[in-house]
Amino acid sequence: MAELKGKILAGKILVKPSEAEEKTASGIIIPDTAKEKPQHGKVVMVGSDKKDEPMEVKVGDKVLYGKFAGQELSIDDEDYLLISQNDVLFISK
């Protein structure tokens, strides 16, 4: 992953989504047409605090977010998701 240059607006985070599962737990291969969009990923950039709302997410945290949360972006041929801190459901260190 290339070093990202720029700034994220207040209350927003940039997430690198995890790869979609290739196989089920029992070993069945999932075709591309049936793969679910991942709902978890790693935080790569965070914005500043919003007024009356401190930023609780840090770079490197693993987060779980809603299925339809955020805006998909492609930066330097890498896929990212720009979401609001309010869309984060769970933070794992």
The upper half-sphere exposure of residue 1, i.e. CA atoms within 13 Å in the direction of its Cβ, equals 15
The Cβ of residue 57 has, within 10 Å, a number of other Cβ atoms equal to: 17
14 pLDDT above the threshold of 70: yes
On whether the CB atoms of residues 87 and 63 are closer than 8 A, the answer is no
For 64, the token pair is 């779980």
How do residues 31-88 score in pLDDT, each as one tens digit?
666 556 667 889 998 888 888 888 888 899 999 888 888 888 888 888 888 998 888 8
Q: Which fold has domain 12-19+35-92?
A: 10 Kd Chaperonin, Protein Cpn10; Chain O (2.30.33)
Segments making up each domain of the chain, as ranges: 12-19+35-92
Q: Using CA atoms, how far apart are residues 76 and 85, in angstroms rounded to an integer?
A: 24
Structure confidence at residue 62 (pLDDT): 92
